């Protein structure tokens, strides 16, 4: 009897693990492209109403998910700069009055939904402002206090405008989840991008996801690169490592060999089909490390194309399609210029290919990646993605030299169309492609 009971328990554990691993992402994300919005800097007005004027253009670009940086009121105590950081949240259930009203935000969400796009908002669960309403309501025990019993910033940071939350406090956890549910119920948003998600206990996220899914089928993005997050609560994580490799290649500190090492190593730590977020810029990189052209130089389009065609969901930071050529101030007003939209057609063509060819779809919806250039080639990099006979070939020169890339794969055989010239090309099992510095070629067929 004891043995039977043991077997029964093991079966229950097995089913439980299987259930966790079978957690699927919302179907509407299968070919999605994400667009990050910095409301303060997006227009001279810096309001929801002014941003709404850009929606038809953003939809035409090929965007499916709009991610708003935090939309909450910003703390005044210990504020950085004159306007403060979005990530210093004063009230988790209110709107930053600089942007508009709750009614205006809800109307904006409806406009976005009416255009067939989804909305996620940034969520800062690790810390709040020093004058958050929770503190003003007397809940100081919801925070980690220093030896003098005072509020303190997260350990090891210079974030002196935010106070570290205490996740040993169950009451605080419940309030945080209720605040997140508020936005699903009140504004009908579709999910969250969770700031420094790895700094918040895993059991909180697991419970949080369970509660949020009771309201609607949410999409959860973690600003973290932890495989375990995919099993517990999140649909997608940042591909930070790959992003840094791209930056280092331009500085000649890394090469194609490091891309291959990433794909054969770090990338495989994540279960097959995991959504990874790929990008050449975002609000952090732009403000603190440099705008895309500043970091990537003549390779800016090369790495944009790579980040869109490789396995994962692409992100574009609002303004990149207008060749954003400055580091946006983080704590002050610093409006984006929309005078030059020449890059829009470049992004639009790549995003359209992602939708048209199932090989480029996200996760298990899309095709796996097969490296078809030599894994000893430190300058040229090529791969093919194939989903049920739908194929995309991506060929890159990741250097400032003229090179020849040798391709080899049985999957190469066929007639393809060049994405940018629309010329036809017949590929054999073995091919040699000459490329100029930072040049790339993308070919596709559709079964």
User: What average pLDDT does the segment 352-360 reach?
Assistant: 98
Give the count of beta carbons closer than 10 Å to the beta carbon of residue 431.
Answer: 18
Q: Is residue 256 one of the residues assigned to a domain?
A: no
Burial grade of 94 (CB within 10 A; 0-12, 13-18, 19 or more): middle
Contact 342, 391 (CB under 8 A): no
> In whole angstroms, what is the distance from residue 118 CA to residue 116 CA?
7
Q: Is residue 293 one of the residues assigned to a domain?
A: yes
Q: Is 104 helix (H, G, I), strand (E, B) or coil?
A: helix
365-397: pLDDT as tens digits: 999 999 999 989 999 999 999 999 999 999 999
Nearest CA-CA partner of 299 in 229, 249, 265, 337: 249
Q: Which two tokens stand for residue 242?
A: 């790959």
Whether 124 and 207 map to the same domain: the answer is yes
Whole-number average pLDDT of the chain: 95
Whether 399 and 362 map to the same domain: the answer is no
CATH (domain of 305)? 3.20.20.80
Q: Is residue 395 one of the residues assigned to a domain?
A: yes
What pLDDT is attached to residue 1? Answer: 42
Q: Is the pLDDT of residue 15 over 90?
A: no
Whether 324 and 376 map to the same domain: the answer is no
Q: Is residue 248 one of the residues assigned to a domain?
A: no
Phi, psi of 442 (to 5 degrees): -130, 130
User: What average pLDDT does the segment 275-288 reach?
Assistant: 97
> In whole angstroms, what is the distance from residue 254 CA to residue 252 CA?
5
Whether 162 and 300 map to the same domain: the answer is yes
Whether 59 and 189 map to the same domain: the answer is yes
Q: Which two tokens stand for residue 119?
A: 């909305």
> How many Cα atoms are found within 13 Å in the side-chain-facing hemisphere of 344?
15
Strand partners, 316: 35
Whether 306 and 348 map to the same domain: the answer is yes
Whether 316 and 427 map to the same domain: the answer is no
Q: Tell me the C-alpha to C-alpha distance, in Å, between residue 234 and each of 5, 24, 128, 194.
A: 33, 10, 22, 9
More confident residue, 23 or 110: 110
Q: Is residue 437 one of the residues assigned to a domain?
A: yes
CATH (domain of 437)? 2.60.40.1180
Give the count of beta carbons closer than 10 Å to the beta carbon of residue 108.
Answer: 24
Among 366, 392, 412, the domain-final residue is 366
The three-point CA angle 203-66-134 to 5° equals: 45
Q: Which two tokens stand for residue 445?
A: 């067929």
Query: pLDDT band at 413, cuts 50/70/90?
Result: very high
Phi-psi group of 273: left, alpha or beta (phi > 0 → left; psi -120 to 50 → alpha; rest → beta): left
Among 366, 396, 428, the domain-final residue is 366
Contact 96, 185 (CB under 8 A): no
Query: pLDDT band at 446, cuts 50/70/90?
Result: confident
DSSP string for residues in 260-278: HHHHHTGGGGSPTT-EEEE
Q: Is residue 55 one of the residues assigned to a domain?
A: yes
> In whole angstroms, what is the distance from residue 111 CA to residue 36 CA?
17
Q: Report the run of H or E that residue 347 belongs to, with start and end.
A: helix 343-356
Domain count, the chain: 2
User: What average pLDDT does the segment 220-239 reach?
Assistant: 96
Whether 301 and 402 map to the same domain: the answer is no
Q: Is the pLDDT of residue 19 over 90?
A: no
- Chain CA centroid to CA 233, Å: 16
Q: Is residue 189 one of the residues assigned to a domain?
A: yes
Whether 354 and 417 map to the same domain: the answer is no
Query: pLDDT band at 23, cuts 50/70/90?
Result: low
User: What average pLDDT does the segment 424-446 reach?
Assistant: 97
Contact 340, 366 (CB under 8 A): no
**Residue 393 sits in which domain range?**
371-445
Query: pLDDT band at 232, cuts 50/70/90?
Result: confident
Q: Report the run of H or E that residue 36 belongs to, with start and end.
A: strand 34-37
Among 333, 366, 399, the domain-final residue is 366
> In whole angstroms, what is the distance from residue 437 CA to residue 255 CA?
14
Give the count of beta carbons closer than 10 Å to the beta carbon of residue 240.
Answer: 15
Whether 35 and 164 map to the same domain: the answer is yes
Contact 85, 27 (CB under 8 A): no
**What is the reported pTM?**
0.94
Q: Is the pLDDT of residue 3 over 50?
A: no
> In whole angstroms, what is the distance from residue 374 CA to residue 195 CA?
38
User: What average pLDDT does the segment 109-117 reach?
Assistant: 99
User: What average pLDDT does the segment 420-427 reach?
Assistant: 97
Whether 280 and 428 map to the same domain: the answer is no
User: What average pLDDT does the segment 99-120 reach?
Assistant: 99
What pLDDT is attached to residue 7? Answer: 43
DSSP string for residues in 198-243: GGS-HHHHHHHHHHHTTTS--EEEESS--THHHHHT-SEEE-HHHH
39-90: pLDDT as tens digits: 999 999 999 999 999 999 999 999 999 999 999 999 999 999 999 999 999 9
Contact 272, 364 (CB under 8 A): yes
Q: Is 87 helix (H, G, I), strand (E, B) or coil?
A: coil
Strand partners, 119: 66
Contact 259, 377 (CB under 8 A): no
User: What average pLDDT does the segment 186-204 reach?
Assistant: 98
Q: Is the pLDDT of residue 214 over 50?
A: yes
Longest CA pairwise span in the chain (Å): 77
Q: Which two tokens stand for residue 314?
A: 């692409």
Whether 350 and 390 map to the same domain: the answer is no
Q: Using a pLDDT cut of 70, give the percent of the chain over it.
A: 95
Q: Is 60 helix (H, G, I), strand (E, B) or coil?
A: helix
Query: pLDDT band at 16, cuts 50/70/90?
Result: very low
Contact 40, 97 (CB under 8 A): no
Q: Is the pLDDT of residue 187 over 80?
A: yes
Q: Is residue 71 one of the residues assigned to a domain?
A: yes
């Amino acid at each position: 009897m004891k043995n039977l009971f043991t077997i029964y328990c093991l079966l229950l554990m097995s089913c439980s693990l299987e259930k966790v691993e079978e957690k699927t992402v919302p179907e509407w994300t299968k070919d999605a492209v994400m667009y990050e919005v910095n409301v303060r800097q997006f227009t001279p007005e810096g309001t929801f109403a002014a941003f709404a004027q850009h929606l038809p253009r953003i939809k035409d670009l090929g965007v499916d998910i709009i991610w708003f940086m935090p939309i909450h009121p910003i703390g005044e105590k210990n504020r950085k700069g004159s306007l403060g950081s979005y990530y210093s949240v004063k009230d988790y259930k209110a709107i930053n009055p600089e942007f508009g009203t709750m009614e205006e935000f809800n109307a904006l969400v409806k406009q976005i939904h009416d255009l067939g796009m989804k909305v996620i908002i940034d969520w800062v669960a690790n810390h709040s402002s020093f004058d958050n309403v929770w503190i003003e309501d007397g809940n100081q025990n919801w925070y980690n206090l220093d030896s003098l019993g005072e509020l303190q910033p997260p350990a090891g940071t210079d974030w002196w405008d935010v106070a570290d939350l205490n996740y040993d406090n169950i009451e605080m956890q419940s309030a945080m989840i209720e605040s997140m549910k508020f936005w699903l119920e009140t504004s009908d948003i579709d999910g969250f991008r969770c700031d420094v998600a790895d700094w918040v206990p895993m059991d909180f996220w697991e419970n949080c996801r369970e509660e949020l899914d009771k309201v609607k089928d949410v999409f959860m993005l973690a600003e973290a690169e932890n495989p375990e997050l995919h099993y517990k609560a999140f649909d997608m994580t940042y591909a930070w490592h790959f992003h840094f490799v791209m930056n280092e290649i331009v500085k000649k500190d890394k090469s194609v060999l490091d891309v291959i090492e990433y794909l054969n190593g770090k990338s495989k730590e994540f279960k097959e089909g995991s959504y990874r977020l790929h990008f050449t810029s975002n609000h952090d990189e732009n403000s603190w490390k440099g705008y895309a052209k500043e970091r990537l130089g003549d390779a800016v389009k090369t790495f944009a194309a790579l980040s869109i065609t490789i396995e994962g969901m692409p992100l574009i930071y609002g303004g990149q399609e207008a060749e954003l050529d400055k580091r946006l101030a983080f704590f002050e007003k610093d409006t984006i210029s929309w005078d030059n939209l020449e890059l829009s057609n470049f992004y639009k063509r790549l995003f359209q290919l992602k939708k048209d060819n199932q090989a480029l779809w996200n996760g298990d919806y899309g095709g796996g990646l097969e490296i078809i250039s030599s894994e000893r080639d430190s300058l040229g990099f090529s791969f093919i993605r194939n989903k049920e006979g739908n194929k995309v070939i991506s060929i890159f020169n990741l250097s400032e030299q003229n090179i020849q890339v040798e391709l080899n794969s049985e999957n190469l055989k066929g007639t393809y169309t060049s994405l940018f010239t629309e010329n036809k090309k017949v590929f054999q099992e073995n091919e040699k492609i000459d490329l100029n510095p930072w040049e790339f070629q993308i070919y596709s067929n559709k079964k």
